[in-house]
């Protein structure tokens, strides 16, 4: 069986070029499975999911209805495993972003405008690689790539309600319920998690956070916005700056939540401008 291997969190990168295919040894298999899907190496479940993920046969999603459409990506449930989510770039999005970019960014490759690719890279950050498995409480596992008939698909955990529908976003939850004590506790737990792991994220926006209906209390999961947006990634190289970065994101998240709950007389851009000094 020929298998495509992609660098997975916690492993030395076996192939820098994701398009390169090579045979996997038994040993590599046993290393990859427990880290990437958190189940016992060599178990049937592991082998089944592994073959699903790394088979060369493209999966067909064209005929399926995405369960969500973000600005950049279409999100599907994996047709062969309903616990997995496949995210695919919207057609032409990376190209359009490059065309709209300011002149000093135009020299960058199209890939650097590819949201899926950048997210995949952000999944390789030390906060994720070094903190597994604890880190999976508030972020999905990223299993790498699958070939689809709409282009490369990035595969992560899918979060569902008890009825199998996509979990509610925090944005939705706040609109429906306001800032309940249950959600405030979940947000506090999420903040402690970020401070502890120093996970590097972009701004924490309520539509990129899910409210997972755990019992007895809900849990916050970040599903988009991993990594750094800044051109000068100091936080990548120093714990001091990483801490500052995390505090900034948490402060902004608090202001954003207050704005979501307000009458929205001001646009978010206006609020951001006013708050710039405190951010």
Point out which residues bind ligand ATP (CB under 6 A): 68, 70-73, 75, 85, 87, 115, 140, 156-159, 166-167, 169, 207-208, 210, 223-224
Cβ–Cβ contacts within 10 Å for residue 68, how many? 14
Least distance to Mg ion, CB of residue 272, Å: 18
**Residue 169, interface with Mg ion (CB under 5 A)?**
no
> Among 236, 259, 257, 261, which Cα is nearest to 246's?
236
Least distance to ligand ATP, CB of residue 117, Å: 12
**Residue 224, interface with Mg ion (CB under 5 A)?**
yes
**Residue 79, interface with Mg ion (CB under 5 A)?**
no
Least distance to ligand ATP, CB of residue 174, Å: 14
In angstroms, the CA 85 to CA 96 distance is: 25
Least distance to Mg ion, CB of residue 98, Å: 19
In angstroms, the CA 230 to CA 131 distance is: 23
86 in helix, strand or coil? strand
Which of the stretches 77-85, 137-145, 217-225, 266-274 binds Mg ion when contact is defined by CB under 5 A? Answer: 217-225
255 binds, among ligand ATP, Mg ion, none (CB under 5 to 8 A by kind): none
- Tell me the Ramachandran region of residue 92: left when phi exceeds 0, alpha when psi lies from -120 to 50, beta otherwise: left
Binders of Mg ion in range 52-71 (CB under 5 A): 70
Angle between the N-to-C axes of helices 239-261 and 181-197, in degrees from 0 to 180, rounded to the nearest 10: 160
């Amino acid at each position: 069986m020929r298998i495509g291997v992609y660098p997975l969190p916690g492993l030395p990168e076996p192939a820098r070029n994701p398009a390169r295919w090579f045979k996997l040894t038994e040993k590599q298999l046993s290393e990859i499975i427990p880290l990437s899907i958190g189940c016992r190496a060599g178990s049937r479940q592991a082998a089944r999911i592994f073959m699903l993920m790394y088979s060369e046969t493209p999966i067909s999603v064209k005929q399926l209805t995405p369960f969500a459409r973000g600005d950049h990506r279409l999100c599907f449930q994996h047709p062969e495993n309903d616990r997995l989510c496949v995210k695919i770039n919207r057609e032409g999005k990376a190209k359009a972003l490059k065309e709209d970019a300011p002149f000093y960014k135009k020299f960058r490759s199209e890939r650097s405008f590819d949201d899926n690719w950048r997210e995949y890279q952000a999944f390789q950050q030390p906060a994720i690689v070094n903190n597994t498995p604890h880190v999976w409480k508030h972020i999905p596992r990223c299993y790498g790539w699958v070939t689809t008939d709409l282009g490369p698909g990035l595969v992560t955990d899918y979060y569902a309600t008890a009825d199998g529908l996509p979990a509610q976003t925090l944005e939705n939850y706040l609109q429906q319920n306001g800032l309940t004590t249950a959600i405030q506790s979940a947000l506090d737990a999420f903040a402690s998690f970020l401070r502890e792991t120093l996970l590097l994220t972009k701004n924490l926006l309520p539509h990129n956070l899910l409210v997972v209906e755990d019992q007895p209390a809900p849990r916050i999961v970040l599903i988009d916005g991993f990594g750094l947006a800044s051109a000068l990634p100091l936080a990548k190289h120093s714990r001091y700056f990483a801490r500052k970065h995390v505090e900034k994101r948490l402060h902004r998240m608090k202001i954003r939540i207050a704005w979501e709950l307000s009458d929205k007389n001001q646009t978010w851009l206006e609020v951001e401008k006013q708050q710039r000094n405190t951010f």
